[in-house]
Structure 1
Amino acid sequence: MRTRLSRSRRGFTLIELLVVIAIIAILIGLLLPAVQKVREAASRAKCTNNLKQLGIALHSYADTNNGLPPAQIDNSGSAYSTPLSGNFGPNWAILILPYIEQTALFNQVSTSVTNQLQGSTSDQGWRAVGSYTIPTYICPSDSYNSVSCSQNTGGTASGFWARGNYAANEGPTGDGAINGTSTQANLSLSGLGPIWITTRAPYRCWTIQQIPDGSSTTILTGEIRAGLLATDVRGVWALGQAGSSAVGQYALGDDLLPNNTNSNADDIQGCTDNPTQGMGCYSAGNASNQAVFRSLHTGGVNVGMGDGSVRFLSNSISLQSFYQLGSGNDGQPLPSDAN
């Protein structure tokens, strides 16, 4: 009888196994940055599309209502936004809901909104929609926008505000409030943006065609970041406050360029100063009246222009260009780095 010789099977040695693991780790390390770049490119493209949709909505609103919506409604009669506990009204993002396929949501509070626009400021029922997350108002690059803001602002349905990442441009000066019914009286303010604070009815800003510097060279909307803490009101779509759904008084003081890392940069009631994370903030005041465009995209922020186009502003843009792009009526030709 013939005996069958058994063959011994040779397995991997420990050294060979470690080499394979090392090669796999190197490959993953090489691929990860590429995957991250693809993911960020997709997020930035989605953000760009959101701003285009907002531009279309604002154009439609302006055509229907003979003027852009107010960035925020300050019923206190002051030139700046009121404290969070103050009597403020619905903002631009609420007013354009019917133009971004959110008519059903808008209809829930349309009576309250109408009362506000007609001067009956005691009706705060419009706040009820502030807890809803609106996909068009969300940039996928900002992971902090998944946590609602719990800052107590007083009034109906207060304390639970959904996040958002887009702001109306009030301009780089703090002098942009309309204290009367005539908009023409404010056209000499060199830093006025296309969407303003307004303090009483009728609530109407420029039409697109009335922007003195032209719609293609004037920022209409842009990105903002959600607060890093639940009590930070920055990045709240329905809240008519600087930093929440509007930017203003930037390109001056300590809030100069997009995504600056200055301590105490934004002046926002109840915020937390986080300059190392690009969210510097001064909270000692009792009102929110200064904020700049911010994003988590690499190197800059997306902004929507008055003509409906979207630009990417570099963090290193010149201060002069940033000021003039934000101003709707500076009357000066743009510097070369702004074209």
Structure 2
Amino acid sequence: MKRTRNAFTLVELLVVIAIIGILVGLLLPAVQAAREAARRMQCQNNTKQLGLAMHNYESTYKRFPGGVGRYGCCWGTWQVSILPYIEQTAMYNLYQNSGGADPGPRYSATVNRPVVSSRLPTLTCPSDTPNAPIGGTTPITSHNYAVNYGNTSFFQTELNGIRFMGAPFHAYTGSTSDDGPPNAGAVAGFPRIYGVQQRLGSISDGTSNTLMASEVLQGRQNDLRGFTWWGGASGFVTYLAPNSTSPDVITGGICVSMLSPRMPCTTNTTVTAPRMMATRSTHAGGGVNTVFCDGHVTFISDNIDYIVWNSMGTSQGGEAFSHD
């Protein structure tokens, strides 16, 4: 009896392979979308945890932490202050001279490197690419959340006809360029007080209408955006729209302009474009996760009306708006 052998022909194999390829092509975007949805959810949860940490700090000290220290850029930002409230008390206890002045150690000092070289999961958005712009044997990390410095610039003064109307965090208020005293000898005669801590009760616009914090993107290579251990990258302003096409203005640091993700920047600080940074993310659909001063978290579209967005940055502007 003659036996016949059943087998696929070459044509049939090619058809099956083609079908599998089509199915993979159809499924891959769905898988990627599901993964991004999970990353965005994690980012929203991180934003919520940051809001809770700020409120726990405020409950303890009856005011929010300063955006920067008394003398500016380099002795620890709000990020150091909230470490005990994101389950990092041991790191907080290691950090020396938080908010202090020269000649004490700065954030980059050897004694503080074990802290600032750590990556904090609560402050890292999984949708972004981690970066550590300051190198060496213990590179200093960047992160993905910054606090609200108001509706103008980091200098918190009138800008191009827009009045500064208060903010829940203060930075380089009244400055025109500097980071703070350049050395120990300049501390005694330094005229300004940076990073003044604000009371929750000072937010007369209402805590549900005033932004507390939002997302930023970590720069690539030696770009200092997202470098929130440093005062120059510790905040954002609503003078720039979410994911703005206008450049971030970095003072005293390096930036690397990018088209993807969209991260325009300049180091040329001018009177009409002083030190400022926008809130940015890579989330699909365009927009950023934000937490307001009452603790509620909202995803805000890049298409939000600019006047509404600018008003969200003020704590004492008296504006009436709805962002729902």
The Cα offsets for residues 85-107 of structure 1, whole Å up to 9 and x where unpaired, read as xx632100111101110000111
The Cα offsets for residues 147-186 of structure 1, whole Å up to 9 and x where unpaired, read as 31127xxxxx9983202000011012137559xxxxxxxx
How far apart, CA to CA, are the structure 2 residues paired with 1:204 and 1:68?
9
Determine helix, strand or coil for the equivalent of 2:146. Answer: strand
Percent identity for Structure 1 against Structure 2 = 36
Shift of 1:331: 0.5
Q: 1:18 to 1:202 in 2, by over 3 A?
A: closer
Q: 2:171·2:194 contact (CA, 8 Å) conserved in 1?
A: no
Residue of structure 2 equivalent to 1:10: 6
Q: 2:154·2:275 contact (CA, 8 Å) conserved in 1?
A: no
2:313 to 317, 326, 329: 326
Q: TM-score, normalised by structure 2?
A: 0.82
Matches within 5 A, 1:202-217: 204-217=196-209
Q: Which letter does structure 2 place at the counterpart of 1:89?
A: W
Q: 1:261·1:275 contact (CA, 8 Å) conserved in 2?
A: no
The Cα offsets for residues 5-41 of structure 1, whole Å up to 9 and x where unpaired, read as 3413131111111111111111112211221121111
Matches within 5 A, 1:127-146: 127=108, 128=112, 129-143=115-129, 145=130
Residue of structure 1 equivalent to 2:177: none
Q: 1:130·1:237 contact (CA, 8 Å) conserved in 2?
A: no
Q: TM-score, normalised by structure 1?
A: 0.79
Shift of 1:191: 3.6
Determine helix, strand or coil for the equivalent of 2:208. Answer: helix
Q: 1:100 to 1:312 in 2, by over 3 A?
A: same
How far apart, CA to CA, are the structure 2 residues paired with 1:204 and 1:65?
13
Q: Which letter does structure 1 place at the counterpart of 2:166?
A: L
Residue 310 (1) aligns with residue 297 (2): yes
Any stretches of 5+ residues in structure 2 without a counterpart?
158-162, 173-179, 181-191
Q: 1:158 to 1:214 in 2, by over 3 A?
A: farther
How far apart, CA to CA, are the structure 1 residues paired with 2:155 and 2:166?
5
Using the TM superposition, name which of 5-14 and 284-293 deviates more. 284-293
What RMSD over aligned residues (CA atoms) do the two structures have, in Å?
2.7
Any stretches of 5+ residues in structure 1 without a counterpart?
77-86, 152-156, 179-188
Residue 165 (1) aligns with residue 144 (2): yes
How far apart, CA to CA, are the structure 2 residues paired with 1:205 and 1:164?
22
Determine helix, strand or coil for the equivalent of 1:15. Answer: helix
Matches within 5 A, 1:1-339: 5-73=1-69, 75=71, 88-109=74-95, 111-113=96-98, 116=100, 120-127=101-108, 128=112, 129-143=115-129, 145=130, 147-150=131-134, 160-174=139-153, 177=156, 190-197=164-171, 204-228=196-220, 230-241=221-232, 244-248=233-237, 250-251=238-239, 256-262=240-246, 265-268=247-250, 269-275=253-259, 277-285=261-269, 289-298=275-284, 299-334=286-321, 336=322, 338-339=323-324
Q: Which letter does structure 1 place at the counterpart of 2:313?
A: G
Residue of structure 2 equivalent to 1:186: none
Structure whose residues are more often helix by fraction: 1
Shift of 1:258: 0.8
